[in-house]
């Protein structure tokens, strides 16, 4: 039997099965793969689900679930220490996101529009920043801040918000650079060349064409930098000063006396903020004409 006849028979068999409304039996390998995928998802998201559930715990500690209620969320309004920690984290995340977006956008545009051997060296440096353990960054930043603030008399480096913002923006800047570069690399520079041919100044071309093309990635990078800065525990624990304790460090210190439901409540609120930020990123990139694959590639910096 020839290959052509075999293909014809297979097509007829598949067509008859579809026509009769029957589906081809699934193999054990497919079933096992689906079960494994579900188990992986449960492994990843079970801790998040547990902390959300326990944020509605009416008990004094998180070790046991005594009942369902909103007492933990009301407690947040009665504890100035919790409010101050959340306020410091949000302010720090906002400033860090602005710094990271400004520096990362310029770096991403430069790498995309001025390719060369230097780009690979620069990407290597960004990768080094990304993979360096946070404890190394923290140990390096602390004496630097002390030298600038006390030995050199630069008072701004004695401020806790300034220290936290600089420390949180290091990794976030690399992320924004990846995202912006990934956005522009897939687009030709024809519009910028056309703008130059029409006698537009370099600044006008940058502002109205290049930056406009990169704007979805810039916004995505800003929101990603904001969410990343909310969870910079190790660096924050080293560089913080009295009165500017961020939320992750507050939670870390609360472990010694026992985790209370208000910790889970604030964690749930921050989780919602993170999910909203990621959803906004996806919507912005989708409205910019990106497919699901492009969105994943841009957010991953590929």
Every domain of the chain and the residues it spans: 71-300
Beta bridge partners of 57: 68
CB 145 within 8 A of CB 165: no
The per-residue pLDDT for 17 is: 47
Query: What phi and psi values does residue 115 have, to the nearest 5 degrees?
Result: -70, 160
Strand, coil or helix: what is 133?
coil
pLDDT score of 296:
58
Tokens of 243: 């009165």
What is the mean pLDDT of the segment spanning 71-86? Answer: 84
Mean pLDDT on 286-294: 62
Mean pLDDT (the chain) is 81
User: Is residue 294 scored above 70 in pLDDT?
Assistant: no
Q: Give the Cα separation of 166 and 87 in Å (integer).
A: 17
CATH architecture of 71-300: Orthogonal Bundle (1.10)
What integer pLDDT is reported at residue 13 of this predicted model? 52
Q: Does the global pTM surpass 0.85?
A: no
Q: For the segment 55-78, what is each residue's pLDDT rounded down to a tens digit? A: 888 877 777 777 888 888 888 878
Scanning the structure block, which residue is given the tokens 């054990």? 28
Nearest partner of 82 among 254, 241, 239, 240, judged by Cα: 254
Assess whether pLDDT exceeds 90 at residue 105. Answer: yes
Contact 84, 161 (CB under 8 A): no
CA-to-CA distance for 221 and 184, rounded, in angstroms?
13
Asked which of 149-163, 268-282, 285-299 is least confident by mean pLDDT, the reply is 285-299
Average pLDDT value for residue range 68-94: 86
Report the distance separating Cα 75 and Cα 236, nearest Å.
25
- Condensed to tens digits (0 to 9), the pLDDT of residues 230-270 reads 888 888 888 888 888 898 888 888 777 777 788 888 888 88
Could you give the angle at which helices 80-113 and 261-287 cross, rounded to 10 degrees? 30
């Amino acid at each position: 039997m020839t290959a052509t006849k075999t293909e014809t028979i297979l097509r007829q068999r598949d067509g008859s099965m579809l026509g009769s409304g029957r589906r081809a039996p699934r193999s054990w390998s497919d079933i096992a793969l689906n079960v494994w995928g579900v188990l992986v998802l449960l492994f990843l998201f079970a801790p998040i689900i547990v902390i959300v559930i326990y944020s509605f715990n009416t008990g004094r500690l998180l070790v046991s679930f005594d009942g369902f209620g909103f007492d933990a969320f009301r407690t947040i309004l009665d504890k100035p220490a919790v409010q101050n920690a959340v306020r410091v984290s949000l302010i720090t995340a906002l400033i860090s996101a602005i710094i990271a977006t400004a520096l990362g956008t310029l770096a991403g545009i430069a790498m995309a529009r001025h390719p060369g051997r230097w780009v690979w060296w620069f990407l290597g440096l960004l990768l080094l920043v990304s993979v360096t353990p946070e404890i190394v960054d923290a140990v390096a930043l602390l004496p630097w801040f002390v030298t600038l603030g006390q030995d050199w008399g630069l008072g701004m480096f004695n401020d806790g918000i300034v220290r936290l913002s600089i420390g949180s923006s290091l990794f976030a800047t690399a992320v924004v650079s990846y995202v912006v570069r990934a956005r522009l690399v897939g687009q030709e520079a024809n519009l910028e060349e056309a703008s130059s041919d029409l006698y537009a100044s370099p600044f006008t071309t940058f502002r109205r064409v290049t930056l406009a093309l990169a704007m979805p990635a810039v916004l995505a990078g800003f929101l990603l930098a904001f969410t990343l800065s909310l969870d910079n525990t190790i660096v924050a624990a080293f560089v913080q000063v009295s009165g500017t304790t961020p939320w992750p460090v507050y939670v870390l210190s609360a472990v010694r006396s026992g985790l209370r439901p208000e910790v889970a409540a604030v964690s749930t609120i921050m989780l919602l903020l993170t999910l909203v930020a990621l959803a906004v990123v996806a919507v912005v990139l989708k409205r910019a004409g990106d497919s699901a694959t492009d969105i994943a590639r841009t957010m991953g910096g590929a």
